[in-house]
Amino acid sequence: MGSNYSSLLGPRGFLSNFPPDVVAVVNGQPITKADLLATKHRIQRRRLANKRTCWEPVIKPCFVWVFRVESFAYYGWHLYIKTLHKEWWISRGQPLGPHSKACVKAMQMFPCGYLPMIENLRYWMPAFAEAHHWPTRKRPQHQGLALARVKYDPFSGQLIELLDVEKSLERI
């Protein structure tokens, strides 16, 4: 026959020996919910202060990647900017959005016979894929890849600017 330990320890188990606001005991020291929240808020304030004071955009090498998808859901031309750990989906043929300046900058950096205007993006993408052809097993055709540099916010991950390779190397 097993004994009923809950009747010996009380409804809160071994915490019945401590005040009701104690939620845990670590190394014999009682921890309250107020202690946990204060520690959490102190860590949040420290991280936020660090982000606000140490903010500097990061410049990394990237690829300007244009490819065409034949599937039903994502049919059409796509423009991505990819680094080793980040990527930005710039356009799916409709360039209006937060990255429209990056579209124009990519068109300026890699002229393919079209003026760098948003209206010419859907004509520029096939020309870019042909001029900077990069075949793979998945996409042997309709894919272009070119090297560039990108400036982005390391904390939010937002794209700030697309840079020419030559101009960004002058700063270094």
Reported as a single tens digit per residue, the pLDDT across 3-48 is 555 454 456 666 777 888 888 888 888 889 999 999 999 999 998 8
Contacts of residue 116, defined as CB under 8 A and 6 or more positions apart, other chains included, come to: 104, 105, 107, 108
pTM: 0.64
Question: Are 70 and 131 part of one and the same domain?
Answer: yes
d(CA 62, CA 43): 34
Question: Are 68 and 112 part of one and the same domain?
Answer: yes
Judge whether residue 87 has pLDDT over 50. Answer: yes
What average pLDDT does the chain have? 82
Question: Are 69 and 45 part of one and the same domain?
Answer: no
By residue range, what is the domain housing residue 165? 58-171
Domain count, the chain: 2
According to the model, what pLDDT value does residue 42 have?
Answer: 96
Question: Are 80 and 133 part of one and the same domain?
Answer: yes
Residue 101's alpha-carbon distances to 20, 71, 106, 122, in angstroms, are 58, 28, 9, 15
d(CA 81, CA 143): 13
d(CA 164, CA 14): 65
Structure tokens at 118: 């948003």
Question: Are 154 and 79 part of one and the same domain?
Answer: yes
According to the model, what pLDDT value does residue 113 have?
Answer: 87
Question: Are 11 and 83 part of one and the same domain?
Answer: no
Summarised one tens digit per residue, pLDDT across range 154-169 is 878 888 888 887 654 5
Question: Are 166 and 106 part of one and the same domain?
Answer: yes
Residue 27 burial (CB count, 10 A): 5
Structure tokens at 168: 């960004």
Residue 11's alpha-carbon distances to 26, 49, 68, 127, in angstroms, are 20, 42, 64, 73
- Work out the pLDDT band at 116, boundaries 50, 70, 90: confident
Question: Are 95 and 162 part of one and the same domain?
Answer: yes
**Average pLDDT of the residues in 136-153:** 88
Question: Are 90 and 127 part of one and the same domain?
Answer: yes
According to the model, what pLDDT value does residue 1 have?
Answer: 46
Question: Are 39 and 64 part of one and the same domain?
Answer: no
d(CA 103, CA 90): 7
Question: Are 66 and 144 part of one and the same domain?
Answer: yes
According to the model, what pLDDT value does residue 96 have?
Answer: 64
The domain boundary, picked from 15, 35, 53, lies at: 53
Question: Are 80 and 157 part of one and the same domain?
Answer: yes
- Work out the pLDDT band at 150, boundaries 50, 70, 90: very high
According to the model, what pLDDT value does residue 99 have?
Answer: 76
